[in-house]
Amino acid sequence: MIGALTWKFRRAYARLPLGAACKCCLCGARVRRFLPYRGGWRAAPVAMRILRVVGSDLDHYLCPVCGCHDRERHLWFYFDRLGLFGRMRDMAVLHFAPEKGLTPCILQAAPARYVRADLYPSSPEIARIDMLASELPEASFDFVIANHVLEHVADDIKALTELRRILRPGGCAILQTPYSEVLERTFYDPGINTKAERFGLYGQEDHVRLYGRDIFDRFASAGFITRVICHDKALPDIDPLRFGVNRAEPFFLFEAV
């Protein structure tokens, strides 16, 4: 692990404007580089590298100025380019585990209703809502956002069914989730129950499964139409290194039937 002083130095150095070739789309800062997550890909579990897991860009993860993550920045680009911010106006939006960088952008889109939700709220403006049993009215939202959440949920099929229930027909579910390009099927074993085991096989101590290439059909089975689009098709002019996003991560957009 990087020592606290070393980390502070790296963050301060990355913020220097001289030679800053990168830019954060959320705070607008120009930076020398985006900082790695826990030592980057070379420090990731061997299984994650062998199985070519697509998720966060561990080497270009954190903005040294505002602290936003690559998955927030990527989502902002997808929302902006595909016109979803405009579609949120006067709509009802439910946002699980709301990111600090994305929240102001969604508020600026002027939805009629914006509910920030988490099973363990960290502030008063976040409602305590269980994705497995939300008790929210049926067909009460136009957008549901769950950015890197489902890999933490014990019963993802039940959660997906609940998300479909609270979405209006034609509503959008944005469900970014890491997955393996090698695994044919989603991998889960109840015997993997320690932090060390989950980290080694799922990629993080609080992940409960590793999705495979069946992820898109698995999500669609809950009553969604797949509208997934890749980076190169949606964002062909967005340089991943300059803006700190993972080119391999598609936009997990699903439409409620």
- Tens digits of residue pLDDT in 57-88: 999 999 999 999 999 999 999 999 999 999 99
> What pLDDT score does 211 carry?
98
Is the Cβ–Cβ distance between 103 and 128 less than 8 Å?
A: no
Does any domain span residue 2?
no
Q: pLDDT by residue (tens digit) across 169-223?
A: 999 999 999 999 999 999 999 999 999 999 999 999 999 999 999 999 999 999 9
Q: Supply the CATH number for residue 219's domain.
A: 3.40.50.150
Domain tally for the chain? 1
State which residues form the domain around 185.
49-54+70-256
Q: Is the pLDDT of residue 256 over 70?
A: yes
Q: pLDDT by residue (tens digit) across 146-164?
A: 999 999 999 999 999 999 9
Instruction: Report the C-alpha gap between 60 and 242 in whole angstroms.
Output: 10
Does any domain span residue 15?
no
> What pLDDT score does 8 carry?
74
Does any domain span residue 27?
no
Does any domain span residue 17?
no
Q: State what percent of residues in the chain have pLDDT above 70.
A: 96
Does any domain span residue 29?
no
> What pLDDT score does 2 carry?
57
Is the Cβ–Cβ distance between 134 and 183 less than 8 Å?
A: no
Is the Cβ–Cβ distance between 81 and 234 less than 8 Å?
A: yes
Does any domain span residue 196?
yes
> What pLDDT score does 9 carry?
66
> What pLDDT score does 4 carry?
65
Residues forming a β-bridge with 116: 95, 126
> What pLDDT score does 188 carry?
97
Does any domain span residue 158?
yes
- 11 — pLDDT class (breaks 50, 70, 90): confident
Q: pLDDT by residue (tens digit) across 29-46?
A: 999 999 999 999 999 999
* pTM of the predicted protein model: 0.94
Tell me the average pLDDT of the chain: 95
Instruction: Report the C-alpha gap between 55 and 38 in whole angstroms.
Output: 14
Name the nearest CA neighbour of 147 among 225, 206, 95, 205.
Answer: 95
> What pLDDT score does 5 carry?
60
> What pLDDT score does 10 carry?
73
> What pLDDT score does 7 carry?
61
Name residues whose C-beta falls within 8 Å of residue 65's C-beta, 6 or more positions apart in sequence: 15, 24, 27, 29, 31
Name the nearest CA neighbour of 115 among 77, 219, 81, 135.
Answer: 135
Does any domain span residue 22?
no
Decide which of 13 and 107 is more confident: 107
Q: What is the DSSP string of the chain?
A: ---HHHHHHHHHHHT--TT--EE-TTT--EES-PBPSTT-GGGS-HHHHHTTEESS-TTS-B-TTT--BHHHHHHHHHHHHTTHHHHTTTSEEEEES--TTTHHHHHHT--SEEEEEESS-SSTTEEE--TTS--PPTT-EEEEEETT-GGG-S-HHHHHHHHHHHEEEEEEEE----EESS-SS-B--TT--SHHHHHHHHSSTT---BB-TTHHHHHHTTTEEE--B-HHHH-TT--HHHHT--TT--B-EEEE-
From the CA atom positions of the chain, what is the Rg in Å?
18
